[in-house]
Structure 1
Amino acid sequence: MTQHRCRVIAALVACLPLGGCFGIGPERLSRDEIDFSRALAISDNQQTLLNIVRLRYAEAPTFLDLTQVISGYQAQQTLSGSLDLFPSSHASTSVGGGGSMQLQENPTFTYAPVTGEQFSETFLRPLPPGTVLPLVLTGIPIDLLFALVVQSINGMDNAQVLAGSVGAMSEDFARLLHDLRVLQVAGRLDVRLGQAAIGQGRSDRRAAADVVKLAILNSDDARMTAVAAEARRLLGLPDDETPFDIVFDRRPVRPHEVAILTRSVLGVLGSMAFAIDVPPGDVADGRTMPTMPAASPVAIHSGRSAPDDAFVAIEYDRHWYWISSRDFRSKLAFAVLQNLLALAQSKQPPGAVVTIPAG
């Protein structure tokens, strides 16, 4: 075989891969799933933080629900080759080949504003105790959860923000949260899911929330025994392991019952809003009220720029607001808030659907 024929064959063989079938489905599936999941999480965090800041400045929150994501791809490929042979003159022999491939991505996002009955159901109605208490089973600190969501337990009040003023958390409420957390860590709290019977003096509305029982278990440890005794005293319960019903009310009406008033999602957002460390000039100008750090366990900072490693950050009116990536408790509380938002919307139509045509 002559040298120029070898070059011809080599050039044609080099072009052959461009003529094969090109599939993008398997190669893109894993990357798209991870990328869209990460992008949705970042977007949800930023939307929630922005609405918290807007509430601080007396603006109504606006939520957009991402209902559909369609990611379409189009692949184009071309292959060309040429061969001119002049045996009498090797200098005029020419070989050519070429190919190209183009991949286009055209994502489409569909949003729907949360309004009307959906807004009322999701953000204005108090969260049922039967929705909140099972989160304790996931390992969420019960003191953090109650500080965010619970307004009162058997008449003991959490801190409350009302039109820019705050009522302090009662000493008994703070002591109870501490005791419940100690018991939770020691495995002395038993959360049970079920349906309580309707008793005298209880309306159907209250009975619908009676889906959780909580028991304080005894211990051989003297310190745990003392903590359990104090928790039962604060809750007005007898000194035994009998499970007690969690009901939505200001005061209990039956023995072995604990009454809890929960906040709405909007109430939780509002308590976080008044704990933001806003620029002092905005308070002096009357644009917002003074900061109330005790209103929320989430620390939200502000400044002319946000740190590069912020957990979540948004810009509002020429200032940046963020939660520090080094503040684990604030990050955890914010994550609990996102879980509560998801639970509050659980009765609504399913969330975002990701469709990826790839063929």
Structure 2
Amino acid sequence: MPFVPPPRLRRRALALLPLGLAGCAAGVGPHQLDLDQMGYADALGEGLKRQMLLNMVRLRYADVPTFLSVSQLIAGYQVQATGQLGLNAYPNAAPGNYATVGGTVQYTNRPTFTFTPVTGQRFAQSYLRPLAPAELLSLAQSGAPVDLLFRLGVQSVNGLPNGATQDGRAQEASGGFLALMHALRAIQAAGAVSLRFERGKDGARVFLRLGDDRGPAGEAARQVRRLLGLPPGMSEPEVIYGRSPRGRGQVAVLTRSVLQVLYELGGQIEVSAGDVARGETRPNDPGERLLRIRQGDRAPADAYAAVTYRGRAFWIEAGDYASKGVFTFVHVLQVLAESGQGQPTPIVTIPAQ
């Protein structure tokens, strides 16, 4: 005699099926939130690296840089679950066909991205405005290498010129500037570099604390004073923006804009002789390179950042730690320049329906 499921067993099957489908649907939300947060964060970071690298390459070839910011990310997904259960009672049911169970789960994902071109006043303020000296020094106080920050973002300090590109030719940093960077790095390593802010009727004033001559970096502090022409024993010179100091006991820092930083680093890209012969770019300049960007037919699969420009690949190698560090700090300077404009940060909105 064929087996007929008892009423209690049938009721359990009917109750468990929708619960199982509902549990499946409910688990999608938290799981997908974690995937979206990490996935979009990674994709946004990679996009920012590629855009900055591409702008360096474009400037190397006298092309127009483009800046496109992601103003909003919306990842909306929808989960629908349905289920059905049927019972065929004896004696009408065929043997082995007493019950039927079915169900469907439908998942829909509709991501939406909003891009905003950086133009007009926002472009001028973010990329053409020179960085404030206090911004660079604040980063140094937070632990960023002071010599690297100055090599990237400064044109000169009290008239001591940094390396720069003039009239299409690279000019090396002066010996005094390099010696100043070495001494400042020694003071920073001893934990003696800090800032003091003073508010007055003419605005905020910034003072650089160098430590005294008896500290662990006393010799480096004395060298900084000699190179900058500061009075002996002065431990807190005032930092101002400009090419030369306006008074005794001041440090004049002539900073670069973000566009200048990208242009200077783009000038260090090694280009092919064919590109130079065709007049697409200027010849390679000998000398020290803060950032090494390779060029070839195809970038390595594990490149730290890679872009394609005019059929050629440009990339930073994953094993080039020094170049990656420089590239990262350029990104920090770019974010610092943009943050002063009151622009909102990208928003990730994930509605669950």
Please say whether Structure 1 and Structure 2 have the same fold, judged by a TM-score greater than 0.5.
yes
Structure 1 distance, partners of 2:227, 2:201, is 24
Structure 2 distance, partners of 1:28, 1:255, is 61
Aligned to 2:318: 325
Aligned pair 1:289/2:282, yes or no? yes
CA contact (8 A) 1:152 1:158 kept: yes
Aligned to 1:307: 300
Aligned pair 1:156/2:160, yes or no? yes
Structure 2 distance, partners of 1:108, 1:154, is 50
Amino acid at match of 2:86: S
Aligned pair 1:66/2:47, yes or no? no
CA contact (8 A) 1:118 1:348 kept: no
Aligned to 1:78: 82
CA contact (8 A) 1:310 1:322 kept: yes
Pick from 216, 236, 243 the counterpart of residue 243 of structure 1.
236
> Do the aligned partners of residues 295 and 6 (structure 1) sit closer, same or farther apart at CA in structure 2, a change above 3 Å counting?
farther
Deviations 1:10-58 (A, max 9, x none): 8656634345363343332222222211111111111111111011111
**4+ residue runs of structure 1 moved beyond 4 angstroms?**
10-14, 219-222, 293-296
Aligned to 2:22: 20
Aligned to 2:138: 134
Aligned to 2:343: 349
Structure 2 distance, partners of 1:89, 1:66, is 61
> Do the aligned partners of residues 218 and 92 (structure 1) sit closer, same or farther apart at CA in structure 2, a change above 3 Å counting?
closer
Deviations 1:270-316 (A, max 9, x none): 00111012223212222111223647511111111112222111111
Can you give the 5+ residue segments of structure 1 that lack an aligned partner in the other structure? 199-207
CA apart distance, 1:221:
6.5
Deviations 1:315-342 (A, max 9, x none): 1112111112222221121111111111
Aligned residues: 348
CA contact (8 A) 1:78 1:101 kept: yes
> Do the aligned partners of residues 25 and 212 (structure 1) sit closer, same or farther apart at CA in structure 2, a change above 3 Å counting?
farther
Aligned pair 1:258/2:251, yes or no? yes
> Do the aligned partners of residues 196 and 166 (structure 1) sit closer, same or farther apart at CA in structure 2, a change above 3 Å counting?
farther
Which segment drifts farther, 56-65 or 273-282? 273-282
Please provide the CA RMSD for this pair: 2.5
Amino acid at match of 1:356: I
Aligned to 2:226: 233
CA apart distance, 1:353:
1.2
Secondary structure of 1:87's counterpart equals: coil
Aligned to 1:202: none
> Do the aligned partners of residues 41 and 93 (structure 1) sit closer, same or farther apart at CA in structure 2, a change above 3 Å counting?
closer
Amino acid at match of 1:228: A
Percent sequence identity over aligned pairs: 38
Amino acid at match of 2:334: L
TM-score, normalization: structure 2? Answer: 0.90
Aligned to 1:204: none
CA contact (8 A) 2:4 2:89 kept: no
Pick from 287, 291, 295 the counterpart of residue 298 of structure 1.
291
CA apart distance, 1:252:
0.6
> Do the aligned partners of residues 3 and 94 (structure 1) sit closer, same or farther apart at CA in structure 2, a change above 3 Å counting?
closer
CA contact (8 A) 1:12 1:81 kept: yes
CA apart distance, 1:89:
7.1
> Do the aligned partners of residues 88 and 75 (structure 1) sit closer, same or farther apart at CA in structure 2, a change above 3 Å counting?
closer
> Do the aligned partners of residues 122 and 89 (structure 1) sit closer, same or farther apart at CA in structure 2, a change above 3 Å counting?
closer
Amino acid at match of 1:358: A
Structure 2 distance, partners of 1:348, 1:288, is 37
Structure 2 distance, partners of 1:257, 1:323, is 39
1:137-286 matched pairs, under 5 angstroms: 137-195=141-199, 198=202, 211-218=205-212, 220=214, 224-286=217-279
